[in-house]
Amino acid sequence: MARAPLAPVLAAAAAGALAAVAARVAYAAFRRRPPVGDEKTWTRENHRGEPITLLEGPALVAGASAAAALAPGLPARLRAAAVLAGAASGALGGYDDLYGTTTAKGFKGHLSALAKGEVTSGSVKILGIGATGLAAAALARRGGLADTVIDGMVIAGSANLANLFDLRPGRAIKVAMLTGGPLLAACLRPGRRDAAVLAAAPLGAAAALLPEDLGERAMLGDAGANALGALLGLAATVRLGRPGRLALLGTVVALTAASEKVSFTKVIAGNRVLNRIDMLGRRPAPPAEPAPTAGPAPVHDA
């Protein structure tokens, strides 16, 4: 069996380890002093109706961005692209986490509201991540305009798609690992060190925070999920040729469109294999409440 070259393996290991340590340090620091507001500002109810913190998201952004900025061997243009893609998408997601409203939902809902002249937090995030995705693609690629547009759409679309899976504990991170793992393995080849570092940084930060997510103590929120997806999207654009990037873009667009009509949670719950993966490491689902039974017929006085 052929061995992976040592240089990309070491570079990816260093980036992943740096991201993991930075993410844990950031999470501990943010729990003591949140980046904005106080602890209540970042507390939401999860799918069980229990309080949970969104500070996992900023911690992932900080960890992955630190690794992208400090990991050895990355060219300046790719370093700048990764920091921009991760930090900007995370900041825009955080804005939606803290100040978002529920007047419009989903990609279609926010764009429909925008067409009517209503600027929602979601539409600000969608347009902002689209713009930063194109900017990151322009920084990362030395190709023509068509390639930059394709890459920008992949980065922005991946950011949005990752967020669509952040509905149950650990799900978005598991999806990232199932898709980013093979991408990282494909990067461990001669001449692929840059892509390996770009893929390892978000995966390392996500793996370090997975116990908090599975334990239902914290969740990625839009900030973490958007950054995780954007950074993996960027790594994919650096690794893949144009046919591969077009295929990836088509998959992202198809899944995003399907999410407007189909519940991913119901699809996963209805598939034995997907549901087993989804429940791996999680608390058991709460038992269904028994249906009320009819009591004895009331007795009326004659």
Average pLDDT over residues 271-282: 93
Nearest to 102 by CA among 120, 78, 115: 120
Q: In sequence order, what are the residues at sequence separation of 6 or more whose Cβ sits closer than 8 angstroms to the Cβ of residue 131?
A: none
Q: Which of 142, 130, 127, 149 is nearest to 85 (CA)?
A: 130
- Do 245 and 151 touch, CB atoms closer than 8 A? yes
The confidence score (pLDDT) of residue 108 equals: 59
Contact between 152 and 162 under an 8 Å Cβ cutoff? The reply is no
- Exposed e or buried b per residue across 162-180, where buried means at least 16 C-beta atoms within 10 angstroms of its C-beta: bbbbbbbbbbbbbbbbebb
Q: Which of 2-16, 240-254, 271-285 has the lowest mean pLDDT?
A: 2-16
Task: Give the pTM.
Answer: 0.87
- What pLDDT score was predicted for residue 50? 87
- Is the model more confident about 169 or about 8? 169
**pLDDT computed for residue 205 by the predictor:** 97
pLDDT per position as a tens digit, 239-267 = 999 999 999 999 999 999 998 889 999 99
| pLDDT tens digits, one per residue of 194-244 | 889 999 999 999 999 999 999 999 999 999 999 999 999 999 999 999 999
Average pLDDT over residues 14-40: 95
Worst-scoring range by mean pLDDT, 56-60, 113-117, 139-143, 146-150? Answer: 113-117
Count the neighbouring beta carbons within 10 Å of the beta carbon of residue 216. Answer: 18
